[in-house]
Amino acid sequence: MGGWQRLIPNGVVAAYFRVEKLLKVGIRGTHSAQAITAGRNMQIKILPALSDNYMYLLIDEKSREAAIVDPVAPDTVIQAVLDEQVKLTTILTTHHHWDHAGGNKDLLQKVPGLAVLGGDDRIDGVTNFVKDGDIAKIGNLNIKCYGTPCHTTGHICYYITDSEKDEKVVFTGDTLFLGGCGRFFEGTAEQMYTALIEKLGSLPGDTKVYCGHEYSLQNLAYGAHVEPNNQHIEDKIKWSREKRELTPAEPTVPSTIDEEKLINPFMRVEETSVQSHAGTTGQGGIATMKALRAEKDNFKAK
Ligand code: GBP
Ligand code: ZN
């Protein structure tokens, strides 16, 4: 009997994810412990890299085929592939910034023949140029691409489902963070509104959100500044502090789309409390998005 079945108490509907297995391997120079989140059909190994980036090894449990999201540290990826005994077939690149796409070349040299998905011609090694609405597969898992231009013009978020549409995750790169969003380097508030409210905000509420950086405590501090009376934010700060104070620190990812709608000011731009803080009452969500981003660009947590 597999771990999944063992953990389902008799008569209780199984929670979507099994346990989060934390791998207390102290990898020197990384910011967090590696961790695995696993469902029946999909497993995700969280691989910290650089000072606060996350790479993700996505595994189709049935075929043991795997994809790697934003492999900036190829040696860490190769070790994870060996540890998990999976067949790596694909790189999913969220955007061209070096701390996400900067490992593509080196990984392709070490593991020739990988398919490389990306939505920007500034990304090294792209074999499959993707745009909004494109679909792909990793083993039995379905991938749907969401074009989310703003942080960069060619930014893509990858929404993954199993064949039963039971397990759902989205890799959001630097578009949506836990409690925040990416800087608008190459786009507008209107584009980020489309990305966060219309596209990502329409995904099923229980979709797990795996973002590109560990920024949760900084983002939540800003969220508390915007909405001092938001208890969901206070609770998430306490929970995140506990995770980050462990040695080694544990990742605060993933969150869910429903949770983001409760704690992320950039997903709450239609709320009267947020508009009141932004000074945009009655001006709508896009004006509020613009005002929040301008304030957050210079925000220093106390
Ligand atoms: C923090 O540590 O909380 N505020 C950040 C500081 C993404 S990385 C670092 C920062 O600005 N990070 C970027 C961001 O969008 N943060 C969201 C926020 O501050 O609210 N990057 O590495 C960044 O995209 C990069 C790489 C940028 C190449 C430009 C180029 Br060109
Ligand atoms: Zn970026």
* CA gap 163, 173 in Å, rounded: 24
Homologous superfamily of the 3-296 domain (CATH)? Ribonuclease Z/Hydroxyacylglutathione hydrolase-like (3.60.15.10)
- Cα 76–81–116 angle (5° rounding)? 85
Task: Give the confidence band of 38 by pLDDT, cuts at 50, 70, 90.
Answer: confident
Nearest CA to ligand 1 atom 31: 97
pLDDT for res 37: 87
DSSP-derived letter for residue 13 is: P
Distances (CA, A) of 102 to 49, 97, 115, 169, 181: 12, 7, 16, 24, 21
pLDDT for 130-151, tens place per residue? 999 999 999 999 999 999 999 9
Q: What is the dihedral of CA 294, 295, 299, 302, to 10 degrees?
A: -170
Q: Is 53 in the pocket of ligand 1 (CB under 6 A)?
A: no
The predicted model gives 111-132 an average pLDDT of 98
DSSP-derived pairing of the beta strands 208-211 and 115-118: unpaired
Q: For residue 10, is pLDDT > 90? A: no
- pTM value? 0.93
- The rounded Å distance from CA 190 to ligand 2 centre is 18
pLDDT for res 24: 54
- Tallying the residues shown for the chain, one arrives at 302
For the chain, the domains span 3-296
Q: For residue 54, is pLDDT > 80? A: yes
Distances (CA, A) of 260 to 54, 155, 189: 18, 20, 18
The bound ligand whose nearest atom lies closest to the alpha carbon of 173 is 2
Nearest CA to ligand 1 atom 11: 183
Q: Name the one residue in this structure whose structure tokens are 């994810």.
A: 17
